[in-house]
Amino acid sequence: MKKKRSSGAVVFLIIAIILVVALIAGRTYRPSVVKGVLFVVGIIVVAFIALTAIVLFFAFRSSAEEAQKAKTAKGEKALSPEQEEILKKGRENMVQLRSLIMRVRNTDVRDAGTEICGVADKILTTLREKPKKISSVRQFFNYYLPTLADVLKRYMAVEKSGIPAEDSTSKVLNYLTDVKTAMDKQYNNLFEEDKLNMEVDMEAMTMAIKRDGLLEESVQIKVDPEDLDDGINLIL
């Protein structure tokens, strides 16, 4: 980084010297000579600007590639612009939802909402690692979270009104319980393919081990209870 800065400073210094020389020449020689010098200086400045733009372009491109490689190393996969937009919208909805929950007065409702946000956060994190699943949970972002936020807004309005809200609180708590159950199931569904592939791999490897004679089934000897009693009597 320091080398780039020093190189740039040297180039600027050279351009400044050329400009000074051109000004001195303007007072000493004919105007045509000055025009020629200024023309050359102009070409140098334009070339320098173009070169700087090219260097910056490749520098930013390299930085973006390195950032992408870092994400891949962490287990994150490249997302399409559409997928990025969906996750961005989901994150914005989450921020709004958390802000609403923090302002709810009833502690039970607030705790239930916080639990839901915890599951939603896990879903968002998993989707970044499993981008193919994003399209299957589009409804989660486009409908579930915004509707939940609207319900909480209306409940907060009831709280602020001063009207007894026991009945509303009970209904909201039941609603949040259903939402939590649905989100837990949504989160579990993201791993159904992993569980299925795991079971298939285990079954295939177990069959291979048996086929190679590395896993013998234990021989079980069945003993008749009457024979066992006869043996005990003989000992006695």
The pLDDT tens digits for 49-90 are 767 777 676 666 655 555 555 554 454 567 788 888 888 888
**Rounded to 5°, angle at Cα 230 from 229 and 234:** 120
| The residue to which tokens 């956060």 are assigned | 121
Q: What is the pTM of this model?
A: 0.56
DSSP state at residue 170: H
Is the four-CA dihedral 127, 128, 134, 138 of positive or negative sign? positive
Confidence of residue 132 (pLDDT cuts 50, 70, 90): confident
Predicted local distance difference test score (pLDDT) of residue 227 = 56
Residue of 57, 159, 140 whose CA lies nearest to 97: 140
Could you tell me which residues come within 8 angstroms of residue 79 by beta carbon, excluding any fewer than 6 positions away? 87, 128, 131, 134
CA distances from 94 to 86, 89, 97 (A): 12, 9, 5
